[in-house]
Structure formats: structure tokens, C-alpha cells
Amino acid sequence: MDRELFQIEPTSDGWTVLGVIPDSDLYPTKLLAAKKAAQLAYRYFLLTGMPTGVKVCMQCGDVVMMDLYG
């Protein structure tokens, strides 16, 4: 089964969370955006049983997976 990923990305005004659960808030730090993404991923996993996780794109181009559920 594929994993549904929530992604945090930098914007000109802070950080945003992208995923199947809409979140239009901007977060001032990467840490706050990651925390919100983890909450959304966990909630989606509980609601659907589908594996989820949080994907963070680093400035160097690497991708880091964190907060994996299921």
C-alpha cells in the first residue's frame, strides 16, 4: 500500500504544509510546520488506516522522511 505523504515547504513568508488534508496556515518556523504536518499525518492515518508520513525537502536537495505512521 502506498504511503500518503504530507510535505512541508518554505515560502517567502514562512513554511507551509501540503497534503490531502488542506492546511492554508503559514508557520514561522520549519519546526512548527513539521509538528502540524505530523499531527495531520497521524489524524489521517487514524481516520483511514492508510500509511502516512511527513516529507521534508532540505535546501541541499535531500529529502528526509519523518513521522511515519502505519
pLDDT of residue 58: 79
pLDDT tens digits, one per residue of 32-54: 999 999 999 999 999 999 999 99
Number of domains in the chain: 1
Domain of 23? 4-69
C-beta of residue 54 within 8 angstroms of C-beta of residue 40 = no
pLDDT in tens, 7-19: 998 889 999 999 9
Question: What's the pLDDT at 38?
Answer: 97
Phi first, then psi: give them for residue 61, nearest 5 degrees: 105, -10
